[in-house]
Amino acid sequence: MKKVAVNIARLVLAVTLILSGFVKAVDPLGTQYKIQDYLTAMGLGNFVPDFLTLSASVLLSGAEFMLGICLLFAIRRRLVSKIVLAIMVTMTLLTLWLAWTDPIHDCGCFGDALVLTNWQTFWKNVILLALAVIVWRWPLEMPRLISESNQWIVFNYSGVFILLFVALRSLYTLPQFDFRPYHIGADLREGWQKMMDGEDSPYTDFFIETVDEGEDITEQVLNSEGYTFLLIAPHLEQADDSQLDELNRIYDYSSEQGYPFYCLTASSEKAITRWQDMTGAEYPFCQTDDITLKTVIRSNPGLVLLKDGKVIRKWSHNALPEEEELTERLEDSGLGKMPSNSVPTKILWLLTWFVLPLVLLTIADRLWAWSKWLRKKNKKYNPLNKEKRIMRKKIVAGNWKMNMNLQDGIALAKELNETLKADKPNCGVVICTPFIHLASIAQFLDQDIIGLGAENCADKEKGAFTGEVSAEMVKSTGAQYVILGHSERREYYKETPEILKEKVLLAQKNDLKVIFCIGESLEEREAGKQNEVVKAELEGSVFNLSEEDFRKIVIAYEPIWAIGTGKTATAEQAEEIHAYIRSIIAEKYGQAVADDTTILYGGSCKASNAPELFAKPDIDGGLIGGASLKAADFKGIIDAWKK
């Protein structure tokens, strides 16, 4: 039930973030205007330059879209769930303020595609916040849609798509999906007439008033039969002047063909005069509300073509009609007709170039994962591999760390000894104790049932090294094993790969079996560096060994973020990296050595999760910490091999 709830929450959040990010990215200027509205409401409108608000618009939409993709595909689950929770806490508080004070009438969370009131937005965010808490609480309950090794493809492809092919493309040309009342195909004449008749209309603030005489010519323009060009420049002071020759050429064409041409602006007469002096513009100028002009077209300047009061074409100043397109009358030209890239065509483009590749990648990835699992399963149960499987020893090893005095340690060892004598284990059992316990425990421990090991040894053979215990000393107590490379030794005592290399060599020189620990921190796991970390640790300390000596090594993989924290890597996570470790051993020493190498899992393993972990084909047992300090708990893990 918990897993179902988490994944319902995950899907709702993912879809919401993807849609919200997409509609913002498809209209970056509209998102910029909304950010400016927020800043103005906070009294910061005059302090933040336009290029920063535009950059924020693009990055915000991209980040929102990418977070939705990461949730959908379960990429970097812990980190993403924390970020989503932080965002939802912030947005819920922000929209509560908006709903309470009402400084702006629409938060813009879904752009112009879906307009919500501020209170509707707040309650929507309350629901999303609750879902974000669920996902944050149990992030590992979200199954991956694609294997961890291929997640970078999904992440990078989605990032390039939303930023380059959606946001920047829409910014350079025009929004690929236009949700505003002035979209191509909108009948302004009909909408204006409804408004004049007292009906609801989105064109209430649309008017055209001549600059020279102050005459309202809105009705005249909209009722004009045939074609009309509208040059839209909300603020001439900020208009892009790189295409002045092209604009003048289009005006000359309209004059020659007898098509009306007006420049609609909200600028002052002074700014209009300056523009005329700078450009040589001869077209008439008209006043219109600046917010309305920004709504008509996301370009300054931009060009709109009306036919019988209906919008049939729009051009950004970056993509104006070419000269060869204006050699005949619009009635006989393709420019005079509705464009062929309709909404269904654009949706098909979106499905073909974004959705379909991800679907195909996911299917291919899952088929590969399934075939890999099938090969392992067949290998595991193939009678020809039976002998090879038996050669890989199953081990449950206890690491007591710095716990229990001598008397308590002896008592625990005796209890384990008697328990396992009475109920023989189905695997190898090792207890690794503090140095002071070794000699005493070795006297009564039946090492045919329970192996004895130390938790460390020195990297020097002998000498003036006060407080150190050499490998020879460990061996003399009767111990058979030694743990080396444990994360606590690496972190607290700064044991380097070179130091560990010396320890391994001395341990093997004294016939001690090495349990060599490797593993990544939480930061390294969240950065996706776990593979390179474990590979570097092996290469730095044990890959120098000959094949014969390496066969004596037992590897213990410890996700450091799961040691003593109560967190546990999922069985799938553990199996995935165990399989990777076995693969790099195969690269170094060959498949036969890799198949014979025992690899233990060492991260918060308990009797409750041991059966699931040990059932994985590349997990050969566990290196147990806290649960090895009680005989019953340790026995419960050992018994997982009987299930």
Same domain for 609 and 492: yes
Among 422, 404, 402, CA closest to 413: 404
Q: Does 401 belong to an annotated binding site?
A: yes
Q: Provide the pLDDT confidence category of residue 111 given band limits of 50, 70 and 90.
A: confident
Among candidate residues 317, 486, 575, 578, the one labeled active-site is: 486
Q: Does 590 belong to an annotated binding site?
A: no
Containing structural domain, residue 301: 186-338
In a domain, 327, yes or no: yes
In a domain, 273, yes or no: yes
Same domain for 196 and 146: no
Among 449, 443, 434, CA closest to 395: 449
What's the pLDDT at 373? 63
Q: Which residues lie across from 412 on neighbouring strands? A: none
Q: Does 626 belong to an annotated binding site?
A: yes
Q: Provide the pLDDT confidence category of residue 384 given band limits of 50, 70 and 90.
A: very low
Tell me the mean pLDDT in the region 433-445.
96
Same domain for 402 and 363: no
Q: Is 612 a catalytic residue?
A: no
| Number of other CB atoms surrounding residue 62 within 10 Å | 23
What's the pLDDT at 376? 58
How much of the chain exceeds pLDDT 70, in percent?
96
**Sheet of 285-287, strands arranged across:** 209-210, 285-287, 261-265, 227-233, 302-307, 310-316
Same domain for 421 and 364: no
**Whole-model pTM over 0.75:** no
Does residue 385 surpass a pLDDT of 50?
no
Q: Is 520 a catalytic residue?
A: no
Q: Is 84 left (phi over 0), alpha (psi -120 to 50) or beta?
A: alpha
Lowest mean pLDDT among 68-82, 362-376, 455-469: 362-376
In a domain, 13, yes or no: yes
Measured between alpha carbons, how far is 348 from 355 in angstroms, rounded to an integer?
10
Q: Does 108 belong to an annotated binding site?
A: no
Q: Give the residue from 358, 388, 418 where a domain finishes.
A: 388
Q: Does 625 belong to an annotated binding site?
A: yes
Same domain for 599 and 514: yes
In a domain, 375, yes or no: yes
Q: What is the CA radius of gyration of the chain?
A: 35
Three-point CA angle 445, 408, 559, nearest 5°? 80
Same domain for 565 and 428: yes
Same domain for 457 and 374: no
Does residue 386 surpass a pLDDT of 50?
no
Q: Provide the pLDDT confidence category of residue 381 given band limits of 50, 70 and 90.
A: very low
Q: Does 428 belong to an annotated binding site?
A: no
Number of H-type helices and E-type strands within the chain: 27, 14
Same domain for 606 and 495: yes
In a domain, 116, yes or no: yes
| Number of other CB atoms surrounding residue 289 within 10 Å | 16
What is the tens place of the pLDDT at every residue in 151-172? 999 999 999 999 999 999 999 9
Does residue 517 surpass a pLDDT of 70?
yes
Helix axes 77-101, 50-73, angle to 10 degrees: 130
What's the pLDDT at 375? 62
Tell me the mean pLDDT in the region 168-187.
93
E strand or H helix that includes residue 470: none
What's the pLDDT at 585? 95
Altogether, the residues listed in the chain come to a count of 643
In a domain, 180, yes or no: no
Number of structural domains found in the chain: 4
Tell me the mean pLDDT in the region 297-326.
94
Q: Provide the pLDDT confidence category of residue 522 given band limits of 50, 70 and 90.
A: confident
Among candidate residues 64, 520, 524, 558, the one labeled active-site is: 558
Q: Give the residue from 338, 359, 379 where a domain finishes.
A: 338
Same domain for 328 and 217: yes
Among 240, 319, 316, 231, CA closest to 278: 240
**Could you tell me the CATH number of the domain that includes residue 248?**
3.40.30.10
Tell me the mean pLDDT in the region 525-540.
91
What's the pLDDT at 318? 94
Q: Does 97 belong to an annotated binding site?
A: no
Same domain for 190 and 70: no
What's the pLDDT at 389? 43
Tell me the mean pLDDT in the region 421-429.
93
Does residue 515 surpass a pLDDT of 50?
yes
Q: Mean pLDDT over all residues of the chain?
A: 91
Tell me the mean pLDDT in the region 206-229.
93
Does residue 107 surpass a pLDDT of 80?
no
Does residue 398 surpass a pLDDT of 50?
yes
Does residue 387 surpass a pLDDT of 50?
no
